[in-house]
Amino acid sequence: MDDFQYHAPSSVDGVLSALRGADDGKVLAGGMSLVPVLKLGMAAPSDLVSLRNVPGLSDIEDHGHCLKIGACCTHAQVAASSVVQERIPALAAMAGRIGDPQVRNCGTIGGSVAHNDPAADYPAACVGLGATIITDRRKISSDDFFGSMFETPLEEDELVTAVCFPIVDRAAYAKFENPASKYAVAGVMVAEGDDGVRVAVTGAGAGVFRVAEMEAALADDFSADAVSGIGVSSDGLLSDNVAGAEYRAHLVTVMAKRAVEACG
């Protein structure tokens, strides 16, 4: 890892000005994605600006129609939160299955959405539940936020401050893990709420995507049988040493079915 300047300001403004003052500054949250990237020499930012001293970014607030989860909430915090467990149990369960305990105790929701790893779980949770990403300057709907792998509309100096999840009628997440990394090989969030039915898939493609055919079928008949016959095309799906595109496509259907079953 190359040397960098380390900053730990105590306000959002402080973070933003540190970023703007740097040649090539990067936000550091839990470091679970960023530090490995640095160690492998895949990035060498001049400055790292830590969020650890910024107050108020780790709150979980119940706003009635939605839960607002601060960007610096760790996965462990979300998983253990009684509010989340009660209001959106699928989200708490999803967070509780990210990586391993070390990762869950460091990794944050803000880091996860900002990083937009194609195999991460939060993108499916956000898109599936219809969440809104809140930054220091705007609100972005999940459908517009998650691009292809590692792409988001965030500006260089833009900070995710929270994610708002609407309360849905029912939702569940089913995940088939990569046995080595524990990331999703195919993870499917199914939710039914004011917005109708949403089916969001992570891990299988170059970025999170929705499956319209499944959503329509479930809107008609919210049952496992409704999706068990719906396949997704393997064209354009990821392929690696753990799972080829065809197997991934198969897993998407199986996970969708299991998520629907788990919705009860």
Q: In this structure, are residues 253 and 209 in contact, taking their beta carbons and an 8 Å threshold?
A: no
Span near ligand FAD by CB under 6 A; candidates 114-122, 209-217, 242-250, 252-260: 114-122
Distance of closest approach, residue 87 Cβ to ligand FAD, in angstroms: 21
Contact present, 160 and 134 (Cβ < 8 Å): yes
CB 251 within 8 A of CB 184: no
Asked if 173 contacts 188 with a C-beta cutoff of 8 angstroms, the reply is yes
218 makes contact with ligand FAD (CB under 6 A) = no
Write each residue from 61 to 100 as x if it is in contact with ligand FAD (CB under 6 A), else as -, in one continuous string: ----------x--------------------------xx-
Site string for ligand FAD, 162-181 (x = CB under 6 A): -------------------x
Q: Please say which residue, 45 or 130, places its beta carbon nearer to ligand FAD.
A: 45
Which distant-in-sequence residues (6+ apart) come within 8 Å of 77 by Cβ?
58, 60
Q: Are 212 and 232 in contact (CB under 8 A)?
A: no
Binding site for another protein (CB under 8 A): 2-3, 40, 176, 178-181, 183, 240-244, 247, 250-251, 254
Given the complex with ligand FAD, which of 98 and 200 has the nearer CB atom? Answer: 98
- Angle (CA) 85-64-143 rounded to 5° is 80
Which letter, b or e, does each residue of 23-40 get, where b requires 16 or more Cβ atoms within 10 Å of its Cβ?
eebbbbbbbbbbeebbee
Q: Which is nearer to another protein, 178 or 223 (CB)?
A: 178
User: Residue written as tokens 């049952």?
Assistant: 223
Per-residue binding letters, 25-64, with ligand FAD (x by CB under 6 A): -xxxxxxxxx-x--------------x-------------
Following CA atoms 35, 41, 46, 50 in sequence, which dihedral angle do they give, to the nearest 10 degrees? 0
Closer residue to another protein in complex, CB, 163/255: 255
Stretch that binds ligand FAD, among 62-70, 113-121, 126-134, 253-261 (CB under 6 A): 113-121
Binding site for ligand FAD (CB under 6 A): 26-34, 36, 51, 71, 98-99, 103, 106-108, 110-112, 114-115, 120-122, 154, 159-160, 181-183
